[in-house]
Chains A and B, each alone.
Chain A
Amino acid sequence: NAGVTQTPKFQVLKTGQSMTLQCAQDMNHEYMSWYRQDPGMGLRLIHYSVGAGITDQGEVPNGYNVSRSTTEDFPLRLLSAAPSQTSVYFCASSSLGRPNSPLHFGNGTRLTVT
């Protein structure tokens, strides 16, 4: 009963480094998304996908890339990390088969960029 699994839980990067945040779900959900959570700003949508091979931008996409080669996986790439990307990142998935299906969230990745 894994649900949405995110790795790593914690990461420290230096400015300019790149890395990939991993997200996998085992519920056969079509919809997957990435949010960042910052104090006083709630959660903001970075990118989302409605199925394998389909991705689109959310509210704050700059500095992040995504791809969706399988239904299960939706990695988030930081190509050149900046201190402004210090945040907690959440991956979430849901079914598109039922209207207003709830989002299922992973436990988050806490990223610090120095």
Chain B
Amino acid sequence: GNSVTQMEGPVTLSEEAFLTINCTYTATGYPSLFWYVQYPGEGLQLLLKATKADDKGSNKGFEATYRKETTSFHLEKGSVQVSDSAVYFCALSSNYGGATNKLIFGTGTLLAVQP
């Protein structure tokens, strides 16, 4: 079945460091891919998405490219800030049953940015 695998955390970086959080997926058909972010004590928020191969999603300095050949959607940011400290979830849409809103999530990666 469909699944998402993302790197385990925590990832600890110094401010202004480069960030990569790896995400790979297994899916039939042509899923859409998402990154969600969860700040402490809050629900998840959509960070960015890509709906077809080679699409690049970007938001707030974060970006991820939908790579069908490697079934990957790695999250990157050139210079992280303390305010980026959060849990990041990779997810894919599951089109079974015709409801594309059903998302399958990875286990989440905690990012801690130190000043």
7 residue pairs bridging A and B, Cβ less than 8 Å apart? A4-B43, A31-B99, A35-B105, A41-B107, A42-B108, A43-B105, A56-B97
By the criterion CB–CB under 8 Å, are B101 and A40 in contact?
Answer: no
Say yes or no: is A53 at the interface (Cβ < 8 Å to chain B): no
Say yes or no: is A102 at the interface (Cβ < 8 Å to chain B): yes
By the criterion CB–CB under 8 Å, are A107 and B43 in contact?
Answer: yes
By the criterion CB–CB under 8 Å, are B107 and A103 in contact?
Answer: no
By the criterion CB–CB under 8 Å, are B101 and A101 in contact?
Answer: yes
The CA-CA distance from A96 to B93 in the complex, in Å, is: 13
Say yes or no: is A52 at the interface (Cβ < 8 Å to chain B): no
SS of A interface (majority) = strand
B residues lining the A interface (CB < 8 Å): 4, 32, 34, 36, 41-46, 49, 51, 89, 93, 97, 99-108
- B32: chain A residues at CB < 8 Å are 99-100
By the criterion CB–CB under 8 Å, are A102 and B46 in contact?
Answer: yes
By the criterion CB–CB under 8 Å, are A33 and B102 in contact?
Answer: yes
Of the listed residues B44, B51, B101, B103, the one surrounded by the most CB atoms of chain A closer than 10 A to its CB is B101
- A74: chain B residues at CB < 8 Å are none
